[in-house]
Structure 1
């Protein structure tokens, strides 16, 4: 189970570290081609989501790696499940039915929470 957690957490952390950093630093115009939903949100909210993703990526790895507050790792995975529930809702509300990536991320985060 430990190996399964590290594989899942590593993949999720890499994805969310990149995704969060992009949201935290790029302009709305540079985000729009990848994320059409940025036009429906204030930039402060987009930046906040990016920060949450970066912190969540750290939360998946660092607590388990250091042994300090290890309960934060499954909490971060559960947070990503909730994030994807919200992201799916935003996509569907906007009429975007392409939510396969959201579903994969939701299932992966759920599996990481279970494996933790």
Structure 2
């Protein structure tokens, strides 16, 4: 159980890191031109950058508290926040008719839910 939760948290952290770096440092116009990034053309730079920073924080929050032993309760809290973020992402892509991205976001949501429930419950630190 512990290994499964570590793997799920690590995968989510990698996804969050890649998404966070791209949303924080890649120009919005370039993101809007990318496949699945059209939604960024409908919002402001500040919103996209804020999401990117939140994703970077999520990447850290899914792994670092457990690794350092400092406030490990932040791992399931972060996973719960990721569930909310992926809910919003699924709705956004759904409104745009991007079904493949909805499915992908739901996979990430399910992984985050496993981490949140597992780390709050039987696999807590």
In the alignment, structure 1 segments of 5+ residues that lack a partner are none
> How many angstroms does 1:91 deviate by?
1.5
TM-score, normalization: structure 2?
0.88
Q: How does 1:47-66 map to 2 (within 5 A)?
A: 47-66=49-68
Whether contact under 8 Å (1:4, 1:115) holds in the other structure is no
Where 1:95 maps in the other structure, the secondary structure is coil
Question: 1:38-94: CA deviations, max 9, x gaps?
Answer: 011111000000000000110000111111111100000001000011111111223
Number of paired residues? 116
In the alignment, structure 2 segments of 5+ residues that lack a partner are 120-125
**Where do 4+ consecutive residues of structure 1 move more than 6 Å?**
none
Question: What's the RMSD between the two structures over aligned residues?
Answer: 1.1
Map of 1:3 onto structure 2: 3
Whether contact under 8 Å (2:40, 2:48) holds in the other structure is yes
> How many angstroms does 1:97 deviate by?
3.0
